[in-house]
Structure 1
Amino acid sequence: METKKEINVYKIAKSFVVGFIIGFALYKFVTIILL
């Protein structure tokens, strides 16, 4: 059984990874358009 603290850490880590992937995808997208 997971504690609420572990669940919160998991959610934060998950959102951070998703944000990083989206940011990287947008960065690649913009560089392709500009080049």
Structure 2
Amino acid sequence: VSAGMVAMIHDNTQLPLIDIVGIELALGRKHKLGYKKK
């Protein structure tokens, strides 16, 4: 069973990085997502 995840976390002052996140999250690998609001 495979699962993919796409996360969109941003506010009005930050550009959405949805494309980059989608590319970096490859199936079958473990990833750690971090988010800091400035």
Q: Could you tell me the TM-score, scaled by structure 2's length?
A: 0.29
Which is greater in Rg? 1
**Larger relative CO (CA 8 A, sep 6+): 1 or 2?**
2
Larger helix fraction of residues: 1
